[in-house]
Amino acid sequence: MVDNSADLGEISGSLQRLAEKHFGSSCIVKNLKRPPMLGGANETFIFDVEQRSKSQRLVLRRQTYFENNSPFLAMSHQYTILQKVFRNKVATPEPLFELESTDCLGKGFVMRFVEGETIPRKILANDSLDVARRKLTEQCGRTLAQIHSLSTEEFNFLGGSADSKDALQAQIERYEKYGGRQPALELAIRWLQKNRREYPVKRLLHGDFRLGNIVVGHEGFKYLLDWDCCHLGDPMEELAWLCLKSWRFGKVEKKVGGFGDREILYRSYLDNGGYEISQERIRWWKIFGYLRWAVLNMMQIHGHMNSSRKSLPFAICGRNICLIEYDLLMALKGEKF
C-alpha cells in the first residue's frame, strides 16, 4: 500500500537503539510488524523485545498527521492521558515511555501490547465471541461511567482544545478548511446551530468510544485504545457516538455498536454512576456525530489530495462521505426544525 510512513527496515535500527536505551544493551528487537492503518492519526508498530530468554511484546505509536487544527491530540498529550487513565484503573494498555527527538523515530510513545480482538466484523460475527457480545453492552456502560467520573482537574490541560471549548465550532472550522461544499453537512450545521442545548457538566470523554478501539476477549470488554480524540464535553456526546449507525458494521438492528440495545447501555451507565440520560441531548449529539464523522473523512481525503499522506483507504474515505450523509439525513428527517 502506498502511504507516507517509513518502511520497516528504515525504523528497525532506530527501534533497536531505543530498546537498548530503555532495557539495556543485551536486548534484541524481533518480529517487527505493522498492522494495517485504517485511517486514524497514528501509525502502529508491534515488536518483541527479547532479553535473557524473556520476551515482552510492545507497541510503538507514531504521529502521521501534522496539519494545523488537527482533530487529533498531540502525541505528548495522548501519552499523558494514557498515563493518567491507566493510573485511574481504566482498562487501557500500560504506557511505558515517550519518544525523544534523539531517538530519530518522530513523535510518539511506546506502550505494552494487549491481546484480544479489535476487528469489528470479527467481534460481531465470531462464534467464539458469543458470550463476549452478550456482556459487551453492559461493560461499555460501566466503562463509560468510569471515564466520565474521573476528576477533570487532572485533565485541565485539555480545556483549551478546540473540541473541548466548542465541539460544533471545531467541526465547522475543519469542514471549511477541507473545502466544505456539502449541502447535507450544511443542513446538519444549520440544524445544530439552531437547536443548541446547554449541558450541565463537562467531563473527560474518550472521544472515539466504539468498536475498532475496543479490545475484546472471550469475556467481553478487555481494553480501550486510541485516546487521540480525547476532550472535555457532555457525557451524552459519548453515548450518542457509540450508537451511530456508522459503528454497527452491518448489524444495523443492534443500535449500540452493532452488538447491543440502548436500554441496557443506559441502565448500566446509570447503575455505575453515570450522568442522567437526556434523550434530547443524545439526539443533538447524534446529528453532531454524523457531521463529525463526515468531517473526519473529509480530512482524510483532503490530505490524500493535497499532501503526501496518500493511501487507498484514505482515497476511499472521500467516497464514504455520502454514506454518512445518508445516515445523517435519515436521522435529521425525524427531527423538527
Partner 1 sequence: MTQHDQPDCFELIRTVNDFLESIEGKLHGSDKYGLQCAKHVLNIIAREIEGAPDGSLQTADDIKKLCLGIREGKYDDNWPETLRHILDHVVEKVKISDPNHLRGI
* Shortest Å distance, C-beta 311 to partner 1: 8
Choose among 207, 245, 250, 202: nearest CA to 226.
207
Is residue 334 a contact residue for partner 1 (CB under 8 A)?
no
Is residue 57 a contact residue for partner 1 (CB under 8 A)?
no
Out of 33, 121, 134, 197, the residue judged to bind partner 1 by CB under 8 A:
33
CA angle at 158 for the pair 156 and 162, rounded to the nearest 5°: 135
Q: All 3 cell numbers of residue 63? A: 504521529
* Binding to partner 1, residues 167-186 (CB under 8 A): 180-184, 186
Three-state DSSP class for 17? helix
Out of 6, 32, 37, 305, the residue judged to bind partner 1 by CB under 8 A:
37
Is residue 159 a contact residue for partner 1 (CB under 8 A)?
no
284, 241 Cβ separation under 8 angstroms: no
Order the strands of the 54-63 sheet from edge to edge: 28-33, 42-51, 54-63, 108-112, 95-98
242, 209 Cβ separation under 8 angstroms: yes
Q: CA 245, CA 256: separation in Å to the nearest integer?
A: 9
Three-state DSSP class for 229? coil
Choose among 320, 312, 330, 258: nearest CA to 295.
320
Per rule CB under 8 A, count of chain residues that contact partner 1: 33
Closer residue to partner 1 (CB): 90 or 215: 215
Closer residue to partner 1 (CB): 11 or 27: 11
332, 191 Cβ separation under 8 angstroms: yes
Out of 13, 36, 159, 273, the residue judged to bind partner 1 by CB under 8 A:
36
**Among the candidate windows 30-38, 197-205, 210-218, 270-278, which touches partner 1 by CB under 8 A?**
30-38
Is residue 331 a contact residue for partner 1 (CB under 8 A)?
no
Task: Show the site string, 211-250: x = touches partner 1 by CB under 8 A, - = not.
Answer: ---------------------------------------x
Q: CA 292, CA 151: separation in Å to the nearest integer?
A: 26
**Among the candidate windows 34-42, 104-112, 134-142, 215-223, which touches partner 1 by CB under 8 A?**
34-42
Kindly give, in sequence order, each residue whose CB lies less than 8 Å from that of residue 184, ignoring residues fewer than 6 positions away.
294, 325, 328, 329
Is residue 196 a contact residue for partner 1 (CB under 8 A)?
no
Is residue 116 a contact residue for partner 1 (CB under 8 A)?
no
What residues does 260 pair with on adjacent strands?
256
CA atoms within 13 A on the CB side of 235: 22
Closer residue to partner 1 (CB): 160 or 337: 337
* Shortest Å distance, C-beta 67 to partner 1: 23
Q: What's CA 274's distance to the chain center, in Å?
A: 20
96, 111 Cβ separation under 8 angstroms: yes
**Among the candidate windows 124-132, 158-166, 188-196, 215-223, which touches partner 1 by CB under 8 A?**
188-196
309, 4 Cβ separation under 8 angstroms: yes
Is residue 195 a contact residue for partner 1 (CB under 8 A)?
no
Task: Show the site string, 264-303: x = touches partner 1 by CB under 8 A, - = not.
Answer: ----------------------------------------
Task: Show the site string, 300-329: x = touches partner 1 by CB under 8 A, - = not.
Answer: ------------xx-xx--xx-xx-xx--x
Site residues, partner 1 (CB under 8 A): 1, 33-38, 180-184, 186-187, 189-190, 194, 250, 252, 312-313, 315-316, 319-320, 322-323, 325-326, 329, 332-333, 337
